[in-house]
Copies of this chain bind each other. A is one copy, B any other.
């Protein structure tokens, strides 16, 4: 049994049993792949792939039960390499963070700045995507850390750790009726809010689920005229007078956003919890822990390790 044979099998399973594609992806010859897979099957005494004549068309029952073991095994191989690299080039390395726009734009900058100062030899790579995409990246190993407010705790393969809580805020132009009422000390209500066109996040992003939940709870519906993935876009259209915005409070900067006024809305929508996720069972290089501690001071290495060892 060779590790490479296992790689071929895994890749074949991922590429719908197309051995030619496997060979290209792994930079080797197609006959080699074919042969090695056969030899592994011989050694294990089972057929992993269902063959229709000369074509692979799927996994056999033994293949189905063996594949997860192969995946775990190769995952440990990855861990071993990472653990080696961690000691070999102490300090140096790459840290890949996958985050939503909101996080990358508003929550991460201080942590990134401090981390860079602490680890000048670590190359930071920042990927943006939907919470769903972030989860995918973590699971396939192309990101070390994922940060998002939604969805991350829904995957058994991931460990999601609470980082910080935040609330929504309503933003309007200074000449908007709500701005006037706010200055007059009138408390904002959901009923009043939905009388205006709303601009906020797309479903699945940045606490949108809590906005929808609040509306559903009151059995009212809002006129959402524009949905965007990030607060910058939302702010732009609020400034244009298209409607009132609902964004994460963290996304409003009184000094910069001089054309806007923020009205606290924490009493209208449930508090949001931003989570940081890593892949369960992955070896984390020391600087990964450092970043986590920098970003979320409430977390430390022991807590992360504990969470990773605990099954959901």
Interface residues, chain A, with chain B CB atoms under 8 Å away: 1-3, 43-46, 61-62, 65-66, 69-70, 72-73, 76-77, 79-81, 83-85, 87-89, 283, 309-311
Contact = CB atoms under 8 A, between A and B. Distances in A.
Interface of A is mostly: helix
A44 B80 contact: yes
22 contacts: A1-B3, A2-B2, A2-B3, A44-B81, A44-B88, A45-B84, A45-B87, A45-B88, A45-B89, A46-B84, A61-B87, A62-B84, A66-B83, A69-B80, A69-B283, A70-B80, A72-B76, A73-B73, A73-B77, A76-B76, A309-B311, A310-B311
A79 B69 contact: yes
Nearest to A81: B44
A85 B45 contact: yes
Contacts of A89: 45
A87 to B, nearest CB: 4
A76 B67 CA distance: 11
Contacts of A85: 44-45
Contacts of A77: 1, 73
